């Protein structure tokens, strides 16, 4: 395993990034720049109406990689790229 320092940038086009930003803003209903659990659960309900609170809690803890209780935009992008289509 070698570290590749030149590969840290998010591999998203600006168009895609704007799309994710739209979803982030949509999800961040109180507009404070972070997604709390209630906001995340609400988004999940939109993406997947059959999702459960347990699934939301599991998804939230996975997405909140620094465990501060909020999903910031960087964490949201990572989640969006890797997980959203699984719901
Ligand atoms: Ca918020
Ligand atoms: Ca966080």
pLDDT tens-digit map of 22-59: 989 999 999 999 999 999 999 888 888 999 999 999 98
Cβ atoms of 39 and 27 closer than 8 Å: yes
39 Cα: distance to centroid of ligand 1 (angstroms): 7
Cβ atoms of 38 and 48 closer than 8 Å: no
Instruction: Considering every ligand atom shown, identify the ligand nearest to the alpha carbon of residue 42 and give its number.
Output: 1
User: pTM for this one?
Assistant: 0.76
Measured at the CA of 47, the angle between CA 45 and CA 48, to 5 degrees, comes to: 65
70 Cα: distance to centroid of ligand 2 (angstroms): 4
Instruction: Considering every ligand atom shown, identify the ligand nearest to the alpha carbon of residue 70 and give its number.
Output: 2
Instruction: Considering every ligand atom shown, identify the ligand nearest to the alpha carbon of residue 37 and give its number.
Output: 1
Q: Please tell me the number of Cα atoms within 13 Å of 31 on its side-chain side.
A: 0
Instruction: Considering every ligand atom shown, identify the ligand nearest to the alpha carbon of residue 39 and give its number.
Output: 1
Q: What was the pLDDT predicted at 83?
A: 63
Which domains are delineated in the chain? 12-86 (1.10.238.10)
Backbone angles phi, psi at 8, to 5 degrees: -90, -20
Computed over every residue of the chain, the mean pLDDT equals 85
């Amino acid at each position: 395993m070698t570290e590749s320092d030149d590969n840290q940038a998010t591999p998203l086009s600006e168009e895609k990034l704007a799309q994710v930003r739209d979803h982030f803003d949509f999800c961040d209903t109180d507009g404070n720049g972070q997604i709390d659990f209630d906001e995340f659960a609400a988004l999940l309900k939109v993406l997947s109406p059959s999702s459960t609170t347990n699934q939301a809690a599991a998804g939230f803890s996975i997405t909140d990689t620094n465990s501060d209780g909020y999903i910031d935009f960087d964490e949201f992008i990572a989640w969006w790229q890797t997980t959203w289509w699984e719901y």
